[in-house]
Amino acid sequence: MCGIAGFLGANQLHSKEEQPVLLKRMTDTIVTRGPDDAGHWCDSEHGVGLGHRRLSIIDLSPAGHQPMHAASGRYAIVFNGEIYNHLLLRRQLECDERAPAWRGHSDTETLLAGFDVWGIQGTIERAIGMFAIAVWDRETHTLTLARDRIGEKPLYYGWQGSGSNAVFLFGSELKALRVHPAFEDVIDRGALSLQLRHNYIPAPYSIYKGISKLPPGCMLTVSSRQREPKVWSYWSGLQQAEYGSENPFKWTPEQAVDELESLLKDAVRAQMMADVPLGAFLSGGVDSSTVVALMQAQSSRPVKTFSIGFHEKGFNEAEYAKAVAQHLGTDHTELYVTAAQAMSVIPQLQSIYDEPFSDSSQIPTFLVSQLAKKHVTVSLSGDAGDELFCGYNRYQMTARLWNKLSMAPLPIRRLAAKGITGVPVGKWNKLAGDLESFLPSSMKLANPGDKLHKGAGVMSSESLEALYLGLVSHWDDPAAVVIGGHEPATLLTDKDQFSSRLSGIERMMALDMLTYLPDDILVKVDRAAMSVSLETRVPFLDHRVVEFAWRLPQSVKLRDGVSKWVLRQVLYRHVPKALIERPKMGFGVPIGEWLRGPLRDWAEALLDETRLHNEGFFRPAGVRKKWEEHLSGRRNWQYHIWDVLMFQSWLEQRDGNAGSSSYLTQDRFSDETHRYAASAS
């Protein structure tokens, strides 16, 4: 795991002597991605620079230093990630008598040898792994970028400047691009609108105009002659989903379980390859427990596992993780985190995530990464099990809801929704309170008016996709609150981009695999772990597992109402069912409660009406209305408010005003959170 950065076209702006200095400035910003080594290479004649920060995982010797050059001299590469089958690729080259004289045993050298024989795309298509790659071809004077199939590793790019002063920039994180003198620093209000809807900015967009994220499974070429980047897909998750759905395996459920266990064992074994200490995150849920069980089954010593716990019962999974760890015999480390410790992370979030990102589980994700880094350099995780094996409750809930809603004509549903929202939330709550003594306990709800208004919002959906978009959205109409905001098309909103060849539940799973997984889950884990120089690996995202999962019949994923049935059966061969079966629990923190309590002054400073007006990004009235309703307890707008706060906090740091609000400083956070902890106890 490393960090990369570079440029093309700098010869018009900077001298031969200045280019390496500039490249070093770019890579120094991402030092936590690679604290062990740094390298820089420039071809001043063509204005190209490749920079690298190294976190040494495989081949710790100088033979793994980057940028690295092919034996032929044609290619120069900087590479972030791991190629798990690189030894097999080496053997294939050796069997064909086309291998170079190996200088070391790094996967970077294997890639370069493959480029010489199979070409860049041919090599990448053979590779199993996670990666963001930049390659300079000295023969064609072309820069090629490539990103892994699902999007574990980030890669930003774009032209900045104009005319002869334009420079093509790329890097693992935006902060590496921002220090380049050509960077234009113009906020994209459409991307901001997307962040308010989703709590993340989906690829190919970024918070800056002119800067894009390379989509998963894609490659890009650019040169001084071909300034418009050519982007194409070498692997398509959507095509794999469609093919798998239309060509399912003709297996019995037992055969499906056998095959899945065999494939997952192989994927886990490959990802245990490392020359440094290795462990795994363990929540005690199905996905992480399966990964750890298969690790322990193939390890001669106890696997190091890590979990964090919270004293708040509704947010604590540590006791379940501990039970699984004890059964498997892992070397388990757990840390119970106080609310004060969790909130102390908030001032660091903007430097960690680099662009507005508001999935509040970013806080515990950072904490468990920080814990693991004290003991290991690599940690495996159970991410992606829900998307591949139908694990989210919303899949079944949305399908059932749409089946019922679609039976009523749309005009009638819209009329009913208008009637519900015509009654204020407070009046619904009062009515429910008056009737509470007459209702059975199963029908008693907290804040029923809030839930009725939310439910009314989905009643007027025109399609299953529209219903699903509403259910996974935060702000329903973010462009109405973002001044000059206009939501660009995404897979979730552009019907022309998405296929009708999948069933309803399959469409939701595919949408999550292509959007929510790479743009939220994987971003959250990558940035949190890399901020403490920890490499994370995701066995479920071995593309062979992804392709296999899509060819499994839906009946073995969702069976008799049981989600992830086939994956559960693999796990139950290693862990008793009684240790796993429990209601699904999110990996979150009580943000809503904190915003009404110890975070209130900090949030109020960022949401000040005059401040919002002067900054000119949000229409203050809509933001203030939700904030005041949340504070009063009339509505729970925690996610909406957190979306705005994460942009405001990011904007404050970008403008160099961190600390201009007295409530943003680390000292102030410590005072407020310790006071909260004392009162809570």
Sketch the domain layout of the chain as residue ranges. Answer: 2-235, 236-583, 591-680
Question: Is 382 annotated as a binding-site member?
Answer: yes
What span, in angstroms and rounded, lies between the C-alpha atoms of 76 and 134?
Answer: 8
CA-wise closest residue to 489 among 497, 481, 501: 497
Range 36-40 contact pairs with CB under 8 angstroms and sequence separation of 24 or more? 37/65, 39/65, 39/66, 39/67, 39/78, 40/67
By the 8 A CB rule, do 55 and 35 touch?
yes
How far from chain centre, in Å, is Cα 554? 25
Longest dimension (CA), the chain: 83
User: Per the omega criterion (within 30 degrees of 0), is the bond before 229 cis?
Assistant: no
User: Per the omega criterion (within 30 degrees of 0), is the bond before 67 cis?
Assistant: yes
What span, in angstroms and rounded, lies between the C-alpha atoms of 55 and 343?
Answer: 28
What span, in angstroms and rounded, lies between the C-alpha atoms of 482 and 500?
Answer: 32
pLDDT of residue 659: 42
Using only C-alpha atoms, the chain has a radius of gyration, in whole angstroms, of 25
Residues 6 or more apart from 449 whose CB is under 8 A from it?
423, 424, 425, 426, 427, 428, 429, 432
- Beta-bridge mates of residue 307: 334
By the 8 A CB rule, do 76 and 50 touch?
yes
Q: Which helix (H) or strand (E) holds 49?
A: strand 48-54
Q: Of 2, 42, 218, 390, which residue is the catalytic one?
A: 2
Strands, E assignment, 192-229: 212-213, 218-222
What span, in angstroms and rounded, lies between the C-alpha atoms of 228 and 118?
Answer: 26
Q: Is 393 exposed, middle or buried (0-12, 13-18, 19+ CB in 10 A)?
A: exposed
Q: Which CATH architecture has domain 236-583?
A: 3-Layer(aba) Sandwich (3.40)
Question: Is 449 annotated as a binding-site member?
Answer: no
CA-wise closest residue to 285 among 239, 320, 248: 320
CA-wise closest residue to 591 among 399, 314, 400, 317: 314
By the 8 A CB rule, do 45 and 11 touch?
yes
Q: What is the mean pLDDT of each run of 10 residues along the chain (681 residues)?
A: 90 77 96 96 93 90 93 97 97 97 95 98 98 98 98 97 90 97 95 98 98 98 93 97 96 97 98 94 96 97 95 78 97 93 94 96 96 98 97 90 85 84 77 68 58 73 87 92 95 78 92 97 98 98 98 96 96 96 73 94 97 98 97 92 98 71 46 50 43
Does 42 participate in catalysis according to the annotation?
no
By the 8 A CB rule, do 51 and 26 touch?
yes
State the helix-helix crossing angle for 237-246 and 543-551, rounded to 10 degrees.
30
Q: Under CATH, domain 2-235 is a member of which superfamily?
A: Aminohydrolase, N-terminal nucleophile (Ntn) domain (3.60.20.10)
Three-state secondary structure of 487-547:
CCCCCCCCHHHCCCCCCHHHHHHHHHHHHHHHHHHHHHHHHHHHCCCCEEECHHHCHHHHH
- Beta-bridge mates of residue 132: 80, 147
pLDDT of residue 681: 43
- Beta-bridge mates of residue 79: 133
Tokens at 108, concatenated: 């970077």
CA-wise closest residue to 368 among 318, 326, 330: 318
What span, in angstroms and rounded, lies between the C-alpha atoms of 429 and 446?
Answer: 9
Phi, psi angle pair for 304, to nearest 5°: -80, 120
Question: Is 34 annotated as a binding-site member?
Answer: no
How many Å from the N-terminal Cα to the C-terminal Cα in the chain? 41
Tell me the CA distances in angstroms from 512 to 240, 242, 342, 562, one per residue in order: 14, 14, 28, 19
Q: Which helix (H) or strand (E) holds 334?
A: strand 331-337
What span, in angstroms and rounded, lies between the C-alpha atoms of 104 and 18?
Answer: 32
Tell me the residue length of the chain.
Answer: 681
Tokens at 436, concatenated: 């509470």
CA-wise closest residue to 473 among 463, 483, 465: 465
Question: Is 381 annotated as a binding-site member?
Answer: yes
